[in-house]
Amino acid sequence: MRILVTGGAGYVGSHVVRALKRAEHSILVVDDLSTGSAAFAERNGVELLEGDVGDAAFLDSVFSDHTIDLVVHCAGLAVVGESVREPDRYFAVNTVGGFVLLEAMRRHAVTRIVFSSTCSVYGVPDSLPVTEETPTRPVTPYGASKLAFEQMMSGYARAYGFRALALRYFNVGGASTEGDLGDLNASGTRLIPNLLGAARRQEPFSVFGHNYPTRDGTGERDYLHVEDLARAHAQAVARLDIVDPLGFGGALNLGMGRGYTVREVLAEVENQLSETLLVREVPRRPGDPPALVADASLAGRILGFRADHDLASIVRSARVFEERERQPGGLLFERERQLQVQVASGETSLRLGEAVVKAGFVDQEGVDKALDIQRDRDGVGEPHQLLGLILLETGAISSAQLIRALRSIGRG
């Protein structure tokens, strides 16, 4: 089949592209490169069209110039905390952008779509494991923006005969077996990259919440290897004409079907690095459910989905990718270097602190904390050069927010 993968230059999307290529489909990628990397499309050997899924004229040219049988829609904004601070962008890209895509598909008579959804649509579930029957009650704009698109898809399925399947991912982790595809935006937002980052920088790791009703008091999540996830998309594409998603509610959970607590993931990282990390227990983050574990048995029955990788494999592959891409010239090295260049002026740094507070990305206390960390660090350039990077590493802001703040002070 000829498949358009939106967001195919991103973390999940690039793995999906590889899995679909393995299944002998021909692939076209549309991506605005806001968080993705053209290098991933290159490494996958696929054509990349740079543009926004919310741009109807651009999509018209894509669908007119190429024959497309099916769309896998991975493009989107995916940082939960950021969505709380900037709901407008999340609804604009994930919901309105999705609507523009569906309409373009309808105009060009492309009616098959597989969508990257999320367990955030469930919010804080009353009971575990989470099945597709669990009520959808998102507690963040991110979850709401994705659920709204799911609902739009099912409307199009009923009214216009679309074959539309939402895959609700739980926590995705790991990197490609080849070590050349991985998560470039995880710093500050995702557990495993954060643990690896804390170890690399020899800094304490903050555990949010230690009195949850779980085995060891820390939050429990279902982690799925990105290659298992990607393979599920190839299975979904293969089954879409055979099984009508409307028959089972249009959505499938994808997870390992078992949970790991923060302490258990920490122990795995320590085991692989043969070192003990310094841990700081800090209060829970509002809106974080104590535990989220998937019942992915429906995906097993309908797609033949099964998770082959375990937690050790997720951590190992993430480490290999990070080590490779942090070498000079690597993608993570280059991203960090570019940001360093952008914040490399004392005056800029002060203005940056003001800009991130003014934009509402982080409060003054967050900036002050970053400044404290900065003061503790010796020998890494001028202290003021690091403010942006520290805000990023500590998860106070996302890389997209840093770039926007830098642009607002004329340094982007």
Ligand X SMILES: NC(=O)c1ccc[n+]([C@@H]2O[C@H](COP(=O)([O-])OP(=O)(O)OC[C@H]3O[C@@H](n4cnc5c(N)ncnc54)[C@H](O)[C@@H]3O)[C@@H](O)[C@H]2O)c1
Residues that bind ligand X (CB under 6 A): 6-7, 9-13, 31-36, 52-54, 74-78, 93, 97, 116, 118, 169, 171-172, 185
Is 156 in the active site? no
| 55 vs 354, beta carbon nearer ligand X | 55
Give SS3 for 169.
strand
- What sign has the CA pseudo-torsion 225, 287, 143, 389? negative
| 118 vs 235, beta carbon nearer ligand X | 118
| 114 vs 279, beta carbon nearer ligand X | 114
Give SS3 for 310.
coil
Task: Give the shortest CB-239-to-ligand X separation in angstroms.
Answer: 20
| 89 vs 369, beta carbon nearer ligand X | 89
Q: Are 277 and 270 in contact (CB under 8 A)?
A: yes
Nearest to 314 by CA among 251, 264, 252, 253: 264
Could you tell me whether strands 171-173 and 205-208 are parallel, antiparallel, or unpaired per DSSP bridges?
Answer: unpaired
Q: Is 365 left (phi over 0), alpha (psi -120 to 50) or beta?
A: alpha
Q: Rounded to whole angstroms, how far apart are CA atoms 386 and 370?
A: 9
| 77 vs 148, beta carbon nearer ligand X | 77
Task: Give the shortest CB-32-to-ligand X separation in angstroms.
Answer: 4
Q: Which amino acid, one-letter code, is at 224? A: L
Please tell me which residue in 11, 90, 142, 169 is annotated as part of the active site.
142
Task: Give the shortest CB-117-to-ligand X separation in angstroms.
Answer: 7
User: Which contiguous run of DSSP H or E holds residue 397?
Assistant: none
CB count, 10 Å around CB of 86?
A: 21
Task: Give the shortest CB-364-to-ligand X separation in angstroms.
Answer: 28
Task: Give the shortest CB-161-to-ligand X separation in angstroms.
Answer: 24
CB count, 10 Å around CB of 270?
A: 15
- Residues with a known catalytic role: 142
